[in-house]
Amino acid sequence: MSNSKYEQMWKDLGLDIAAHDGLLDVLGGFYKDIYLSQKNRPKGTDYLDFVLSEIHGLRIQELMEAKAQGRKVFGSFCLYVPEELALAVDGISVGLCAGVDVGTKEAEKVLPRNTCALIKSFFGFKLSALCPYIEACDLVIGETTCDGKKKAYEIFNDYHPTFVIELPQIKTPEAKKLWRSEIGRLAAKIEEVSGKEITGESLSKAVRTVNAKRKVLQRLSALRKANPPPISGRDALLINQVQFYDDPVRFTEKINTLCDELEERIEKDIGAVPADAPRILVSGCPMAAPNWKVYFVIEKSGAVVVGEESCVGERGTRNLVAEDGQTREEILDRIAERYLNIDCACFTPNDERLDHIVEMSRKYKVDGVIHYALQFCAPYTIEAYKVEKTLERENIPFLRLETDYSMEDASQLETRVQAFLEILEQKRCG
């Protein structure tokens, strides 16, 4: 994955070239083992392979060329940061580097050791000078979805310009008013950084662009209901991860083309896996690229992931922004309404998430649910209890996994997943 033709660009961004080359080489091998080893992949996944091969190269070059034209780049780690606002000033919204165990020693100089892997990862990328996305950003936008991120953003601001919006964590009328005011405050900050005004016209165009991206991901999800599924869970996960980095118009076009191919595969009864492969719903924490470990373990064990109840999945794509707003303020109202409907585990109560897990389990005809949580992620590790009790009442088999970004526990996870799949097989036969 390393490419010497981008070396000067990476140097200009201040990256540690030797360490960055080493990271890309490791990730390239990891990608080959997990993705390129798959058989019977749809041809359209060639696009994913290209994106990943150029994710720190051509895409960063595009960002730098945009910046040279005066456009601004805004980075975030969370679904609650509306990308429509960045697009409305002709800016670019990108996800930032995380999802891999990197720079841990550097990160632990400023963070406690028992901090969740995502927070330590994005700090590690920054402090080790390994993430070109962070360095290309004019502003990192944070949110208060958990205490760890909230306090970490305070420190991160010492290293890179960071702006934090407050997400209320109970959905009362007063909380909705607070959230709407935060959306307005973020819009004003984006206007300040970009030097451009967010208008009703520019915001309406941005809403349509992002809604189109969500619609194609909804289309992809619907196609995975087929048996056999026309695409692996690994490739579907990768698509959901790539959406945070790629140009939204290009991404939408490419995934629509891939979905056309998937429809043809369904008509011809061509599956990515055998029709009798156990069908799994993964629920819980988001999986930032290149966090592919759990999916690899599940599918290596003979099952297939057919849906994600996750920020990198239906939690992030389920709802569209209503397109009936005309003025800037009306459209900001619609944006605020849409984003507050996301059912993150940071909310209390959070019964809608429990309902969605059951709904998805039925919709995708899953054999079982695997709940994934990062170590030290209190919202999801604690809420897993209510998920388990809900699924028990619905007679849906459930497995809880708690892990980090390292590969040290891969064998242990595989043993637990295989035991779970044996239970599902016994249930089928019984």
What is the number of alpha carbons within 13 Å of residue 45 lying toward its C-beta?
Answer: 22
Mean pLDDT of 208-223: 98
Among residues 149, 178, 201, the one where a domain terminates is 201
Q: Which tokens is 170 given?
A: 């109970």
pLDDT band of residue 428 (cuts 50, 70, 90) is confident
Mean pLDDT of 259-282: 98
The answer to whether residues 143 and 105 belong to one domain is yes
Q: Nearest Cα to 316, choosing from 325, 303, 324, 307?
A: 307
Q: Do 229 and 353 share a structural domain?
A: yes
Averaged pLDDT score across all residues of the chain: 97
Mean pLDDT confidence for 160-164: 98
339 within a domain of the structure (yes/no)? no
* The pLDDT of residue 4: 76
**Residue 165's beta-bridge partner residues?**
143
Question: At 76, which CATH number?
Answer: 3.40.50.11890
Same domain, 191 and 211: no
Residues 210 and 196 in one domain: no
Q: Specify the number of domains making up the chain.
A: 2
| Amino acid at the residue 136 | A
Q: Is the pLDDT of residue 430 over 80?
A: no
- Smallest CA-to-CA distance from 346 within 102, 168, 209, 186 is with 168
pLDDT in tens, 364-405: 999 999 999 999 999 999 999 999 999 999 999 999 999 999
- Measured CA to CA, the distance from residue 220 to residue 237 in angstroms comes to 11
- Which strands form 92-95's sheet, in the order they lie side by side? 92-95, 73-76, 139-143, 162-165
Query: Which of 375, 424, 421 is CA-nearest to residue 401?
Result: 375
Q: Identify whether 242 is part of a domain.
A: yes
Q: What is the pLDDT of residue 378?
A: 95
CATH code where residue 231 lies? 3.40.50.11900
Cα dihedral angle (268, 273, 279, 281), rounded to 10 degrees? -100
Q: Do 405 and 279 reside in the same domain of the chain?
A: yes
Q: 272 with 163, same domain?
A: no
- Is position 177 within any domain? yes
pLDDT digits (tens, 9 = 90+) for 292-323: 999 999 999 999 999 999 999 999 999 999 99
Query: Domain check: are 95 and 171 in the same one?
Result: yes
Report the run of H or E that residue 257 belongs to, with start and end. Answer: helix 248-267
Res 1: pLDDT: 58
Contact 157, 177 (CB under 8 A): no
Residue 331 lies in a domain: no
Q: Which two tokens stand for residue 174?
A: 């007063």
Report residue 113's pLDDT band, with 50, 70 and 90 as the boundaries: very high
For the chain, the distance separating the N- and C-terminal CA atoms, rounded to the nearest angstrom, is: 47
Domain boundary among 159, 184, 201: 201
Task: Assess whether pLDDT exceeds 80 at residue 86.
Answer: yes
Tokens standing for 146?
């958990």
Amino acid identity of residue 397, one-letter, is P
Cα 41 to Cα 43: distance, rounded to the nearest angstrom: 6
User: Does residue 387 belong to any structural domain of this protein?
Assistant: yes
Query: pLDDT band for position 48 (50/70/90)?
Result: very high
pLDDT at 243 over 80: yes
* Domain identity same for 194 and 231: no
Evaluate if residue 261 carries a pLDDT over 80: yes
Same domain, 187 and 231: no
- φ, ψ for residue 75 (rounded to 5)? -115, 150
- How far is the C-alpha of 257 from the C-alpha of 104, rounded, in Å? 39
Q: What's this model's pTM, rounded to 2 decimal places?
A: 0.97
Let me know whether 261 and 403 are in one domain: yes
pLDDT > 90? residue 329? yes
Please check whether residue 333 lies inside any domain of the structure.
no
pLDDT at 2 over 90: no
Which residues have a Cβ under 8 Å from the Cβ of 247 and sit 6 or more positions away?
62
> Exposed, middle or buried, 14 (CB in 10 Å: 0-12/13-18/19+)?
exposed
The answer to whether residue 3 scores a pLDDT higher than 70 is no
With a cut of 70, say whether residue 102 has pLDDT above it. Answer: yes
Q: Would you say 306 and 281 are in contact if contact means Cβ atoms under 8 Å apart?
A: yes
Range of the domain at 235: 205-319+345-429
Residue 237 domain-assigned (yes or no): yes
**pLDDT (average), residues 178-190:** 98
Of 99, 82, 93, the residue nearest 34 (C-alpha): 99
394 Cβ neighbours under 8 A, 6+ residues apart: 358, 361
Helical residues (DSSP H) of 1-54, grouped into ranges: 7-12, 17-31, 46-53
| Domain boundary pick from 201, 228, 253 | 201
Taking alpha carbons only, the member of 294, 404, 292 closest to residue 34 is 292
Query: Is the same domain home to 160 and 287?
Result: no
In a domain, 304, yes or no: yes
pLDDT tier, 429 (very low <50, low <70, confident <90, very high otherwise): confident
The answer on 311 and 283 residing in a single domain is: yes
For the residues 40-47, what does the mean pLDDT come to? 97
